[in-house]
Amino acid sequence: MRKPTDGQLAIGALIAFAIWIFVALPLYYGPRDDAAPQKCSAKELEYYSFWEKTRCDPITYLTAWLVGFTGILAFSTIGLWWVTWRGSVRQSRDMRDTLDHARESLTAIERAFVAISELTVSTLSVRGVIADYRIQLNVVNSGRTPARNYRALANLVLLDNIPDDFRFADRSHDNLSKQVIGPQSRTYIQADVFIKDALAIFEKKKRALIYGWIEYDDIFPNSSTHRTEFCMEAEIYADPRETPTVIRGAALPIITLRPYGRYNGYDQDCLYRPGETPIAREGELPPPTPPPENPPATPAPVVTYTLG
């Protein structure tokens, strides 16, 4: 059943009021004697009720109609005011909702959106010996407006086994700096898998996680800080001490990364809120592997691969 509108309710209430004025009250207060006189003397009028007087006194009769129509007019005026007020309130609420939706749509279209776009793996050597696989997480702002107060952090952790309750804690929050990434602009986050760790991953002695977060603000007022979380497990399918020979097709890096676990999401889907990423407790994470001894001042990249 369709719900009646405010106008229909007001008209119904007005009809009910008119019936009460001109039908119910006369029936209840009218003369009890069907043979009531049509003309009354002044003495008889003293004993008649108001509605009995309307049968024989023109002034009382006219007054009754005047009161009835005045009551209907007052009631209809109040009803009209009520319907108008309800309509203005509803219109104001609808307009506010429309403006909110328009603002949200504009923000969603124009806001900065920062995420990892691709991975670049570079093989670095020391005196002709492979020493490091440098992983570069390329970050892009695909939005139409700048990303303000951008900061990011990546952790490389090698574990014997990854526990189910792993917290994805950071090693440290020192030296975090803020910057601005323009629309359609790029930056990167770097992680180094030294040859010792690469060999342990290849031999299945260790499992390696590269995880971290990106936080930034957009240019829209009253907008909350945005956050992106990422976690990938590194896999090595060939001996990292050698550069494999490609027989046919394009060369690929021997190290690959695949998404791992629940530490992957944007904004409300993230495990932690912005600024709330915990720092690892003492002994919670293994210490980072130091770089090989006596590296050259500027290591020369041997091969560079980009994973889209």
Alpha helix locations (H) across 4-121?
6-19, 25-29, 42-45, 50-53, 58-110
Closest CA relative to residue 296, chosen from 134, 129, 121, 137: 129
Closest CA relative to residue 194, chosen from 119, 305, 126, 289: 289
Determine the Cα–Cα distance for residues 235 and 229; give it in Å rounded to an integer.
20
Determine the Cα–Cα distance for residues 79 and 68; give it in Å rounded to an integer.
16
Closest CA relative to residue 207, chosen from 215, 194, 198: 198
Hey, is 150 helix, strand or coil?
Answer: strand
Q: Is the pTM of this model over 0.85?
A: no
User: Which residues make Cβ contacts (< 8 Å) with residue 304, sequence separation at least 6?
Assistant: 120, 121, 122, 123
Q: What is the pLDDT of residue 92?
A: 75
The backbone torsions φ and ψ at residue 239, rounded to the nearest 5 degrees and listed phi first, read -60, 115
pLDDT tens digits along 74-110: 777 777 777 777 777 777 777 776 666 656 665 667 8
Residue 211 CB neighbour total at 10 angstroms: 23
Determine the Cα–Cα distance for residues 25 and 19; give it in Å rounded to an integer.
9
- Number of helical H runs and strand E runs in the chain: 6, 10
Tokens of 154: 């990546």
Domain ranges of the chain: 6-110, 114-307
Q: What is the pLDDT of residue 78?
A: 77
Give the confidence band of 299 by pLDDT, cuts at 50, 70, 90: very low
pLDDT tens digits along 173-213: 988 889 999 999 999 999 999 999 999 999 999 999 999 99
